[in-house]
Amino acid sequence: MGPAFQSERRHGGITLPWRSILLGAGAALAYLVMGAAPGAWVFDRVAIAQGEWWRLFTGHWVHSDLAHAGWDITALLVFGVLFEVRLRWRLPLALLIGTVGVDAWLWWGDQTLYYYCGLSGILNSLLIVGLLQLWCDLRHPLVALTGMGAAVKILVEINSGQALLTQTAWPSVPTVHAVGFLCGLIYVLRIRMVGSSLHNFSASNRS
């Protein structure tokens, strides 16, 4: 892939995934302080239409019950351990891109959905960005199998209309997982295209 998507190396010692730890701590604190599905923070279509735009961001960082928060925050920390040393600033960027894409889907793509909360949609953006970086670096078949497994899981969830691994107070929205996954994939492909264009431009200038 292009230069903007190359692995960033570390020499000596262990680099803590401090970005993921801070984000996970923020989500945990939100649950501890405000409890399950705080009314002022969840994605609420009517409230957003009335001007409460912050819900488009905060809705992803609050959860419907303790199990929901536990699964999502744990997944964020695991992804941090696996990916952050390679992604660095691209980790929060992947989450932000997922946020924009998922919000667009929630608002325009599924107008029957009035309430939503949780990290799972945007975590799928981070998952595919991290896996593609690992594939770029390692070319290990387990990375490809993991990505294919994640895609199959999403398709099965969409077909069944519910999450495979979790049962939470609010119904799962599998289409959001698919949108998050696609947002991450589009981001990586875009970075690759830009990197290739820069490389070709640099090569043409040298010739």
Give pLDDT tens digits for 19-57: 999 999 999 999 999 999 999 999 999 999 999 999 999
Residue 2, pLDDT score: 43
Q: Taking the C-alpha atoms of 165, 120, 87 and 196 in order, what is their torsion angle to the nearest 10 degrees?
A: 100
Confidence label for 124 from pLDDT (cuts 50, 70 and 90):
very high
Asked whether the predicted pLDDT for residue 18 surpasses 60, the reply is: yes
pLDDT at 11: 44
Show Cβ contacts of residue 127 under 8 Å, excluding neighbours closer than 6 positions.
79, 150, 181, 184
| % of the chain at pLDDT higher than 90 | 77
Mean pLDDT calculated for residue range 55-80: 97
Over residues 107-136, mean pLDDT? 96
Contact 125, 94 (CB under 8 A): yes
Is the confidence at residue 8, as pLDDT, over 50?
Answer: no
What's the pLDDT at 162?
80
The answer to whether residue 4 scores a pLDDT higher than 90 is no
The more confidently predicted of residues 204 and 116 is: 116
Closest CA to 118 of 202, 179, 190, 58: 58
Residue 47 pLDDT:
98
Whether the model pTM is above 0.75:
yes
Instruction: Work out the average pLDDT over 185-196.
Output: 75
Average pLDDT for residues 117-133, to the nearest whole number?
Answer: 96
Q: How much is the CA Rg of the chain, to the nearest whole Å?
A: 18
Q: For residue 161, what pLDDT is reported?
A: 83
Closest CA to 95 of 74, 72, 125, 118: 125
Looking at the domain covering 10-206, what would its CATH class be? mainly alpha
**Least confident interval from 3-12, 102-111, 119-128:** 3-12
Interior/surface letters 175-188, b for 16+ CB within 10 angstroms, e for the rest? bbbbbbbbbbbebb
62 neighbors 41 (Cβ within 8 angstroms): yes
Would you list the domain boundaries of the chain? 10-206
Contact 58, 117 (CB under 8 A): no
Give the whole-angstrom CA distance, residue 103 versus residue 105. Answer: 5
